[in-house]
Structures are given as C-alpha cells and as structure tokens.
Structure 1
Amino acid sequence: MIDDAAVRQTDPARRDGTGSERQDFPETYRRELPLLTRFIMKHGASPQEAADAAHEAFATAYPQWSTIRYPARWLRTVAVRVYLRARLREDLPGELPTTRAESHVPTNIQLSDQEREVYTALADLPSRQRQVMAWFYDGYTIAEIADELGITKESVRQNLCRARATLKARRSQRGGVR
C-alpha cells in the first residue's frame, strides 16, 4: 500500500518541481499514478473511474510535458475535470457507449478498511467540501488550494472547517472515536 504522506516526506522533488530536480515523464508516471488515482477517489470516484481519469490526465500531459511547470498540480486539476465530465455524461438521459476497461485499474493500490471508510465519508460531502478535502489530504496548502480551485483562502478554510465537522459528527454517530 502506498502512503501519500510518506511519499511527500521522502521525495523532496515530488511537489511540482520545487525540490532539487524535476522528474521525467516515465518516473513521474510511475510515482504519481497511484497517488493521482487515490486523489480522484477522494472526489467520490470508484477505483475504476479514478484510474480512467488518471490515465487520461497523463495522456493529455504527455505531448506537452516539457511545458508543464507544476506537474502534480496540473495532473490533479486535469484528472478531476476528466472525472467530472465523465460523471456528467453518465447523468445524461439515454445510453452512451462505455469505453472503460477493467484492465486500467492499478494493481498496486490496495485500500485498508479505514481508507475505504474515509473515501465513503468524503463521497457523502458536498462537492466543494470534497474538493477542498481531497487537495488538503494530498498535502497542498490553503493558498495552493485556493489558487487551484479559484476561490478565496477564507472559502478554503470555511470548507475545511465544515467538512471536518461533518466527518467528525458522522464518525461519532458510527460508534465513537477510535
């Protein structure tokens, strides 16, 4: 199982090229794919939907890789948009052909029971709170989140506070704090 926080702490170059050197595409793909997939799952996606969105984000990035200044942030932004567009298409009336294939699910992502509970709880949050929490859980600062989502820092703080309160209340309703 890959721990997002552990990767961030052990790899100073992981955060968007702010470390000593920027990684090439294959290295970034290997390192970021499981993290990006989990990030999309924090937005309420199933593992398959998250994997599809992550792969599409990387496919979009590849032709322009040398021009992307902050790869981890760029990939997260694109992958979320891909996921939300796919969800919107699913909500349209009528049947659309599906192009998702089970073979895209990364095999190195294994979720613990606690992680499944977290993803389920996040999926129940309102959209903006879920977005803010996903970025926050991935280690981004309030300023970075505000910049990426195009909202004020105060709005980020407010959504974080509300999401935490909702998650805490739901956890206590389930049977207390662990």
Structure 2
Amino acid sequence: MMSETPAQAGRREPLPETRPVPSTELVRRDDFSVFYRTEKKRLIAFLIYAGARVWEADDLAHEVLSQLLPDRWKTLEYPRAYMRKSAIRAYLRQNERTREIPTDELPDLPGGIDPVTCVELSEQTNAIIDAIQQLPPTQRTVMAFVMSDSDTAEIAEALNMAPGAVNTNICRARARLKTTLGLMKGDNNA
C-alpha cells in the first residue's frame, strides 16, 4: 500500500528538503512520472502539516496524483495548486469519517530494505509538526498551504475564504506557533 518510507512508531516520515517551488510555476508537460515522483513527496509533506498521519498522507497523495494521470495533468494550467486543493479536500472528507489505523506490519521496500530504519526527523522538525498539529483546524490547514509556499490568493481560492480571512488565520497561527515553540521577539529563531 505504501510507496514511500512509512513512519516508525512515534516518528514521522521525513519531509522533503527541496527548494520551494511556487505552485504557479509552470511544469514540464512531457514526463508525468518525473512530476509524480517529485510532487508526491511535497504533497505528503503538505498533508502531514495539515494533520494527516504519514500513511494517510501517502495514500491520499497517491490517490490525488492518480486522478491527474498523464492525460488530465497536461490540461491544467497550475497542476501543483490543483493537486494541493484536491488533496486538502480529500483529507477533510476522509477526516469526517472514522479514522482507521493500520495494524499489519509494514512491508519491506523493494530490495528488502526495512522502511522503519529509513525514517528520521530532527527534533526541530518534530517540534514544528507537533505545534502545527495543535492549531485549530482552519489555522492548521492554512499553515499547511503556507508551508507549501502557497500565496494568499491561492489559499483563499482553495479554501473558499476571503483573502483577509486567510491573512487573519496566518497571523493567528504564527502567533500560536511562536508561543507553542517558545519563540519570542528578539530571539534569532523567531
């Protein structure tokens, strides 16, 4: 079921360490497999910030990207924005139902590699994810978009909110995160 490395007990899948890619940046239209591999990692990170568990994020990312199969994704002007919008809607719909937790052991990756040994996050990354998870749902969702380098207009359109409401939620979420993470004015990390 999982194509990316699953989470170890109490740990989360590593979030991609890649340069920010604006969702409005045009993408090459001739190689869906490259788009899939690159964007799936970013989409998983986005969904984790939104509150999904790693296995949920992986499943939803695959589902959303499968809907963009080569024929459809070529027709979209901004496939990254469409992908995140579809992913957050699928996650919120899924969240309305009972959440399932897998109980079976996780399969090895191709080549016999145990996926549990592949996962490690820094303390700082874990702290940030945990802090985002504590935000109210709307703020958490808005911050997931912010962490994915979405602009206010894109967030407003995706969540059917006024841009002013998006900015208010961003400000409130950042204030809560600073408090939760212990970041104060004058602190170099703030």
1:60 aligns with 2:88: no
Query: Which residue, out of 136, 139, 143, partners 1:126?
Result: 136
Q: Secondary structure at 1:69's aligned position in 2?
A: coil
Residue aligning to 1:113:
123
Could you tell me which amino acid in structure 2 is paired with residue 26 of structure 1? S
Partner of 2:165: 155
Correspondent of 2:81 among 70, 73, 76: 73
* Contact 1:42-1:123 within 8 A present in 2 as well: yes
For residues 107-146 of structure 1, give each alpha carbon's deviation from its aligned partner in whole angstroms, at most 9, with x where no partner exists: 6775322112111111111111111111111111112211
Shift of 1:103: 5.1
Shift of 1:66: 2.3
Specify which of 40, 44, 52 is matched with residue 45 of structure 1.
52
Do the aligned partners of residues 76 and 110 (structure 1) sit closer, same or farther apart at CA in structure 2, a change above 3 Å counting? farther
Change in 2 beyond 3 A, CA 1:144/1:7: closer
Matched residues in 2 for 1:126 and 1:89: separation? 19
In structure 2, the residue matched to 1:146 is 156
- AA matched with 2:151: T
Separation (CA, whole Å) in 2 of partners of 1:71 and 1:104? 31
Q: Distance in 1 between matches of 2:56 and 2:48?
A: 8
Counterpart code for 2:17: D
Q: Match for residue 3 of structure 1? A: 17
Indicate yes or no: 2:31 matched with 1:24: yes
Tell me how far apart the structure 1 counterparts of residues 176 and 41 of structure 2 sit (CA, whole Å): 27
Q: What is the aligned-residue RMSD (CA, Å)?
A: 3.0
List gaps (5 residues or longer) in structure 1. 9-13
Question: Distance in 2 between the 1:42 and 1:76 partners?
Answer: 12
- Deviating above 4 A after TM superposition, structure 1's stretches of 4 or more consecutive aligned residues are 100-105, 107-110
How many residue pairs match? The answer is: 163
Q: CA deviation at 1:58?
A: 0.9
Quick check: 2:20–2:148 contact (8 Å CA) kept in 1? Answer: no
Report the AA paired with residue 138 of structure 1: S
Unpaired segments ≥5 residues, structure 2 = 1-13, 110-114
> Aligned AA for 1:61?
L
Q: Structure 1 pair 109/26, CA: closer, same or farther in 2 (3 Å)?
A: farther
Q: 1:27 to 1:7 in 2, by over 3 A?
A: farther
Are the aligned partners of 1:132 and 1:145 in contact in 2 as well (CA < 8 Å)? yes
Query: What TM-score, normalized by structure 2, do the two folds share?
Result: 0.73
1:23 CA drift (Å): 5.5
